[in-house]
Amino acid sequence: MIRAQIIAPVVLAITASAALAADQAPSFQPGQWSFEITQDGSASYKDGSQKDGNGRITQDAPKQTGSICIKPDDARLLPELFAPACRISNASYGPVSMRAEISCGDLSLPMTGSLNMALYEDGKTISGTQVMSGGAETVGAVIVANIRMKYQGACNGK
């Protein structure tokens, strides 16, 4: 019972701190945004056929492009916008920037890294990098994603 009484205020304080930090996130123009994501990656794995016992693969993923309508309530430089499937920690904000530590993947290939994003051209361009690394005993990977978004105007049909 004593343990629960101590933990609850600590959890509430952490949650309140995260909400307060998110309030410091820079906002940008809501509307239609085009995006471009380029990704480079490499992996190493245990392989008895290789001279040193390790195999390596490098791969550049095809460029991903598209557009997204960002609503006014979501037009903030928050890590959740750029890494929605990841756990976010230690997010910090500057007047036009955001940095966060992220943890993604599943138990078979856990990945950790950082996300750095910034606003440019009076908030009409967002650009940054996500760097992830991790793995398990028999396989490891590094992934670098470069993200660029450009404001296009009001949302189409919305």
Q: What is the pLDDT of residue 3?
A: 36
Q: What is the pLDDT of residue 6?
A: 38
Q: What is the pLDDT of residue 10?
A: 34
What are the distances in angstroms from CA 39 to CA 61, 64, 138, 147? 5, 9, 23, 9
Q: What is the pLDDT of residue 15?
A: 36
Q: Which residues of the chain have pLDDT under 50?
A: 1-20
Residues 6+ apart with CB under 8 A from 146: 37, 38, 39, 127, 128, 129
In the chain, where the domains are located: 2-153
Residue with tokens 């928050």: 78
Contact 75, 155 (CB under 8 A): no
